[in-house]
Every structure is written in structure tokens, then in C-alpha cells.
């Protein structure tokens, strides 16, 4: 199974970009072993699902990079710091999946630079423009064709 996890709050502006990208992937691309989920934040029960995947792509907004930029960051379990019941990091979940189930899926974080988190379902223009690029990057990482969707460029 290849697993895509879109993370974010769709009611807080740019924070919802991870969810939007994941939803676009799910709507426009299907593959027998592709599983796409979305969540407000990462929680420990995802460990079970992650442990069953051969590849995991997390998609999230990031305040640590320029607005509208898209980066693919390989994830390492060594970076894990804290595993909380409410909010945790991709690396922490990957470490838990390794310790509990011996699973070591190939894992990447696609991060979209974001800055506008006020109430609303609209993305800022740079983040909206980043959506197709981030979706295309996800498809490339998943080794899926990118030309099927007309709006990906």
C-alpha cells in the first residue's frame, strides 16, 4: 500500500492546503494500492496504517519556508522528538511504526510554505498556485503518471 496523508485544518486558510492536495489526488487519481486520508493533525492510531504501507507521503503546510514554495523532505525516524496523544510529527509516527511493527516505509514530507491562517476556507494566492505543483510532486514521488489531470502543470 502507498499511503498519502493530507494534514491541516480546512477552516484556517492556508493550513488546509495539505488536505486539499490529498483530496485532489484522491479525486483525480486512483490506483489499487493507493490509500489517501486527511486529518486535522497526526495522532497515534495512524501508526497501524503507516505500518502497513510501503511508502508514505505526508502533505502539510509549513511556516518554515517561503510562502508558496513546495519542498519534498525525506523523513528520518532519528528526527522524532515527542509522541503525543493529540499532536505529533511524521517522524514520531514513523519511529513508532518501526519500534512496534518493524515497519520502515519510504517516507517523504511534502511541505508547502504558508503564512495566512485566519478563519476561512480560501488559500492565499501563492498557496493556491502551489497546489498543482505540490500535487504533481506527490504523483512523481508515487511514480504515478502526472499528465492525466489537466490542471496539474
Partner 1 sequence: MTKEITINPVTRIEGHGKITIYLAEDGSVSDAKFHVTQLRGFEKFAEGRPFHEMPSLMARICGICPVSHLIASAKACDALLGVRIPPVAAALRRVMNLAQLAQSHALSFFYLSAPDLLLGMDSDPAQRNLFGMLSANPQLARDGVTLRQNGQQIIELLGGKRIHPGWVVPGGVAEPLSAEKRDQILAMLPNAIAITQQAIHWFKEQLPRFAEEISAFANFPTLHMGMVDRRGNLETYDGYLRIVDAEGNVVEDRMTPEDYLDLIEEAAEPHSFLKSPYYKPRGYVDGMLRVGPLSRLLAANQISTPLANAALQDFRQIPERQSSFYFHLARLIEILYAWEEIQRVLNLPDILSEHVRAHAEPNAFEGVGISEAPRGTLMHHYKIDKHGLITYVNLIIATGHNNLAMNAGVKQVAQRFVRGDRLTEGMLNRVEAVIRTFDPCLSCSTHAVGQMPLHVQLLAPNGEVLDEIAR
DSSP states along 112-133: EE----SSBSPPPHHHHHHHHH
Tell me the C-alpha distance between 97 and 99, whole Å: 6
Tell me the C-alpha distance between 18 and 147, whole Å: 21
Helix, strand or coil, per DSSP, at residue 37: strand
From the list 23-31, 99-107, 112-120, 127-135, the region that binds partner 1 by CB under 8 A is 99-107
CA angle 16/91/65 to nearest 5° reads 50
- Between 118 and 140, name the residue whose CB sits nearer to partner 1: 118
Contact flag: residue 96 with partner 1 (CB under 8 A) = yes
Minimum CB distance to partner 1, residue 95 (Å): 8
Residues 22-81 that bind partner 1 (CB under 8 A): 39-40, 44-45, 47-49, 80
Contact flag: residue 104 with partner 1 (CB under 8 A) = no
Contact set with partner 1 (CB under 8 A) = 39-40, 44-45, 47-49, 80, 82-87, 92, 95-96, 99-101
Amino acid at each position: 500500500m502507498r499511503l498519502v496523508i493530507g494534514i491541516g485544518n480546512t477552516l484556517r486558510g492556508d493550513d488546509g492546503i495539505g488536505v486539499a492536495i490529498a483530496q485532489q489526488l484522491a479525486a483525480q487519481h486512483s490506483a489499487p494500492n493507493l490509500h489517501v486520508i486527511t486529518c486535522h493533525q497526526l495522532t497515534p492510531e495512524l501508526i497501524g496504517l503507516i505500518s502497513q504501507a510501503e511508502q508514505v507521503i505526508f502533505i502539510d503546510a509549513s511556516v518554515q519556508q517561503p510562502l508558496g514554495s513546495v519542498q519534498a523532505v525525506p523523513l528520518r525516524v532519528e528526527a522524532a522528538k515527542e509522541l503525543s496523544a493529540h499532536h505529533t510529527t511524521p517522524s514520531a509516527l514513523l519511529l513508532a511504526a518501526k519500534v512496534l511493527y518493524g515497519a520502515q516505509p519510504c517516507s517523504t514530507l511534502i511541505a508547502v510554505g504558508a503564512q495566512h491562517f485566519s478563519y476561512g476556507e480560501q488559500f492565499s494566492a501563492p498557496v493556491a498556485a502551489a497546489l498543482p505543483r505540490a500535487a504533481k510532486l506527490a504523483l512523481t514521488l508515487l511514480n504515478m503518471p502526472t499528465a492525466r489531470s489537466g490542471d496539474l502543470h
